[in-house]
Amino acid sequence: MIDLQCNTKLAGDYKSKSQIARILTEDWCGRTLYCAACTSDRLHQSTANTPGLDFSCNSCGETYQLKSSSRYPANRIVDSAYSAMISAIRSDHVPNLLALHYSQHWSISNLLLIPRFSYSESAIEKRRPLGPNARRAGWIGCNILLSKIPPSGIVNVITEGIVVPKSTVRNAFQKMKPLAGLRPDARGWSLDVLRVVEQLPEKFSLADVYQFEVELSRLHPGNKHVRDKIRQQLQVLRDMKYLRFGGRGDYERI
């Protein structure tokens, strides 16, 4: 395990465990993490209270947001305001997400990287508004649903305390990067179809993908020609080298 206890003095007089965790994990990331998008081995920590942004790469300009929790992010990651997240996705200003899981003994257990182009509006869940007695009554937050992100779009950086090689992390980031070239609205469809494809066997048919027509219709209620869209997105994924077309409606994941 990667121990954080040696730096607990940084937290000063904080009593809140979440505040202590924020300070310790941000310090560790600032000293240890590297950019997944280029060869830079250093990330620059943002000034305090910069909304939605914790680190950036001075070499390539990629930005990162850190979310730390003592719970492993198996299903969802609690994020910021729902409206702000949707706006950031639509304007293509979402940072890369770092989801860090620490133990109750102040050690880093797991760290996930979700590239900024790996999730769309389909993966954002609106939470209930805060009650009338809350300090920010009526405020609506959101969750990022990991189940709505293609598995290839969730990159392991640390797994059960074991550090994944930088080359593996960077290769996984580059594998998803072609999606960054799509408009955010078109990217959402591509990601949803890719997620479906990654649930299927390595070799699959168009008919296999059609089985998810209802689910895709629910995610994209404005589209009345879902099967046409599925065929179009399979061609997009083929052109991006995610798939190989075998003819007669047969496909293979690359």
Residue-wise pLDDT for 73-126, tens only, equals: 778 899 989 999 999 999 999 999 999 998 877 788 999 999 999 999 999 999
Clarify whether residues 172 and 203 are in a common domain: no
Q: What is the pLDDT of residue 77?
A: 92
Instruction: Write out pLDDT tens, residues 149-173.
Output: 999 999 999 999 899 999 999 999 9
Residues 123, 70: Cα–Cα separation, whole Å? 22
Clarify whether residues 7 and 121 are in a common domain: yes
Clarify whether residues 153 and 244 are in a common domain: no
Q: What angle do CA 23, 27, 29 make, to 5 degrees?
A: 120
Task: Decide which of 148, 177, 206 is a domain's last residue.
Answer: 177
Task: Decide which of 131, 159, 177 is a domain's last residue.
Answer: 177
Task: Decide which of 121, 142, 177 is a domain's last residue.
Answer: 177
Choice among 5-14, 25-34, 86-95, 139-148 with the minimum mean pLDDT: 5-14
Q: How far, CA to CA in Å, does 77 sit from each of 29, 34, 112, 123, 254?
A: 18, 22, 11, 10, 29
Count of Cβ atoms closer than 10 Å to residue 192 Cβ? 25
pTM above 0.95, yes or no: no
Domain that residue 76 falls in: 2-177
